[in-house]
Structure 1
């Protein structure tokens, strides 16, 4: 047991030592690899921050959006009451409020204030009676609106679904562009890491051949190169986290002070998932570059 533990410690020490030497030996290439992975992770992080907040904004807006049904002119009170009852029975409806045309006109006048006197502009009230319908949750807005539109006595239905659709469309574009650029930069990082590992293999080719002749195992030979890629990925992850975490924390604090009405995800809600994503991405890129280089340039 003690011998096996000593061998493991020796193998780990060898791996770390050789990876550190390779990192120093190929300083410029290693720096280029770390920088490229860092830019990739920052791009992914910024894209995720933007798309997550846009998606959150869309859901908040969707939850605040209600449905307004404008009623056909000439409905009798019993017909109106039946219509209100029918609307209340629809799935997803939380509350239905009847708003008479006179009430609607007074609301409009209150909104306009003293700038315009509606009684001087219009002789008769042009506004229809309406129903203001609150839904149980945001995703019910569109189904409820479609169901209300089919009720007898409803002339027209209005809701904010178009705003939500635009926000979600922008979110999709931002996410697609961000991941596309990240994929491109990730491929560039893979090529740079492959070339860095290739230079290390060429510099140590004679030493590698001697280790193979004396029976060194394949993974014993490969491990320093894998460690080199992992270290490059880890450095990029730490640098990306060091930029994104304080930057987003400051951004949220200042935005909440200047724009308190803007619903932003808090650091505690967003950053854990964001850091997990960039950590995974950094290690995948770093290790993949090393594995591809070993498969192509090192025969064991």
Structure 2
């Protein structure tokens, strides 16, 4: 009780410094939590696109289909390859666009036989497409990898930008905690000196300051998680209303990320307070 009571008294004794530390930590943790959820969600979108990614190879009329199937199935990047005859492709086209049903009886089937490939390693889609183009009997190749590649580029750049931004904000939070605790230490120098003289241990003296840092950052972390989680849930529901197939994070994912942010808040609060109070005790 002594540690908690002294921590609260020190926070109230320096409200300006305490509020500055609190809001600095609040902004840092809110950005960390919200941006982390967005990046994780973007990764899920990329993974779902990769699972659906297919490469289509359009064949010439005289292509040796059996030889092509045998060669392509031996490629290590290919998980599955199947032949779509031109008749099946036309039937599917008519099913998707019923108004073509009458026209198909009037003209010859213009669609080619098609090989559709699913890859074990979606990152190799461009290389597989180029290799397919060079095969005899292949007239053209199409794949939906452009969008996935762009998303991967955005994801990579976003990770780097977020890492730099959050790193700077967390350092700012750490030093803000140190500054606030240092101010509390300075205001109690005489009392601390007396406590040392009468035999108080360093841990006993540091306890209230560490509790002060923990209270500031943990309160900021809790509020940041509530605000960031509410904002993410609102955006994800709106996005799913427009795009129902869009994958979003589950409640368990939000809770797991929130626990990580709160753990980081505890480390920063305790670490900053410990370093500031330890520096004073070293001077003494």
The two structures have a TM-score, normalised by structure 1, of 0.80
For residues 166 and 105 of structure 1, the distance between their equivalents in structure 2, rounded to whole angstroms, comes to 31
Partner of 1:7: none
Paired residues for 1:19-168 under 5 Å: 19-71=7-59, 73-76=60-63, 79-91=64-76, 92-100=78-86, 128-135=112-119, 141=125, 145=129, 148-149=132-133, 151-168=135-152
| Gapped regions of structure 2 (runs ≥ 5) | none
Alignment of 1:209 onto 2:193:
yes
Residue 181 of structure 1 aligns to a residue whose secondary structure is helix
Count of residues in Structure 1 that have an aligned counterpart in Structure 2: 279
| Gapped regions of structure 1 (runs ≥ 5) | 1-12
CA shift, 1:21, in A, is: 0.8
For residues 82 and 274 of structure 2, the distance between their equivalents in structure 1, rounded to whole angstroms, comes to 63
Residue 263 of structure 1 aligns to a residue whose secondary structure is coil
For residues 18 and 285 of structure 1, the distance between their equivalents in structure 2, rounded to whole angstroms, comes to 20
CA shift, 1:197, in A, is: 1.0
For residues 151 and 103 of structure 2, the distance between their equivalents in structure 1, rounded to whole angstroms, comes to 35
The two structures have a TM-score, normalised by structure 2, of 0.84
Partner of 1:239: 223
The range that moved more, 56-65 or 126-135, is: 126-135
Q: Per the alignment, do residues 83 and 159 of structure 1 end up closer, same or farther by CA in structure 2, a change over 3 Å counting?
A: same
The range that moved more, 174-183 or 149-158, is: 149-158
Partner of 2:264: 281
Supply the RMSD in Å over aligned alpha carbons.
3.0
For residues 108 and 94 of structure 2, the distance between their equivalents in structure 1, rounded to whole angstroms, comes to 14
Q: Per the alignment, do residues 241 and 143 of structure 1 end up closer, same or farther by CA in structure 2, a change over 3 Å counting?
A: same
Q: Is the 8 A contact 2:177 2:272 kept in 1?
A: yes
